[in-house]
Amino acid sequence: MFNMHVATIVIIAANVLVSIKGFNDLSFFDRYKFNISAINAGQKERTVTSGFLHVDLAHLFMNMFTLYFFADVVVRGFGAGKFIGIYFVSLIAGSLLALFFHKNEPQYSAVGASGAVTGILYAAILLQPDMQLGIMFIPIPVPAYVVGIGYLLYSIYGMKSRLGNIGHTAHFGGAIGGFAMTLLFMPDLIVTQTLMVGLLAIPIVILFAMQKMGKI
């Protein structure tokens, strides 16, 4: 299937099947979505199951389309097992950051694989920092690390301003998960790609500095 590794196919298939179930069964959707009060009441599985639910087909397609483009870089760099590990750690990291930032908002809810997919994106950027990305309305390719840093800075802005119906916190948490796991699996990158590691860490430092100062 378009030269995708079987691990990528399995993850996409799981997202599609669970999301379709959620589209057609509101009680299933409500039971397994991310929700602060339900998680605090003991339904910890929502931190994972919410990552396989989506609001609609457009939401599902965008996440799986992004995963399709970057998964192969990570599979080739680490193998299928570590790729799956990065995916799930990023998913959970996104949920945990959302829990941290929204702990006083019992009605806060979210769904989507965006955190996990963003983690794969950041792993791919660290593995191939010279990768060029084509972006809509921009006539020339943009270095992947510029997109990555810009996206995290935009996520900080989105978190601060509560911009749109988007889980900016989960996106950011997923990026942290992918960043951390990539360095754990390949610590040599800290030496061979010191500048890139430092640049990608800047938005993470900014986020927690702003949180510490009560600015977000």
CA atoms within 13 A on the CB side of 55: 11
Residues whose CB falls within 8 Å of the CB of residue 55, separated by 6 or more in sequence, listed in order: 111, 112
Q: Which pLDDT belongs to residue 214? A: 84
Q: Which pLDDT belongs to residue 51? A: 96
Query: How far is the C-alpha of 74 from the C-alpha of 120, rounded, in Å?
Result: 7
Question: Is 51 exposed, middle or buried (CB count within 10 Å of its CB: 0-12, 13-18, 19+)?
Answer: buried
Q: Which pLDDT belongs to residue 157? A: 87
Instruction: Name which of 83, 89, 71, 59 is nearest 167 in CA terms.
Output: 59
Query: How far is the C-alpha of 171 from the C-alpha of 137, rounded, in Å?
Result: 23
Query: How far is the C-alpha of 2 from the C-alpha of 42, rounded, in Å?
Result: 41
Q: Which pLDDT belongs to residue 132? A: 85
Dihedrals φ, ψ of 115, to 5°? -60, -50
> pTM of the entire structure?
0.91
Task: Please answer whether residues 67 and 117 qualify as being in contact, where contact means their C-beta atoms are separated by less than 8 angstroms.
Answer: yes
3-state SS string for the chain? CCCCCHHHHHHHHHHHHHHHHHHHCHHHHHHHCEEHHHHHCCCCCHHHHHHHCCCCHHHHHHHHHHHHHHHHHHHHHHCHHHHHHHHHHHHHHHHHHHHHHCCCCCCCEECCCHHHHHHHHHHHHHHCCCCEECCCCCCCCEEHHHHHHHHHHHHHHHHHHCCCCCCHHHHHHHHHHHHHHHHHHCCCHHHHCHHHHHHHHHHHHHHHHHHHCCCC
Q: Which residues of the chain have pLDDT under 70?
A: 1-2, 135-139, 163-166
Q: Which pLDDT belongs to residue 137? A: 58
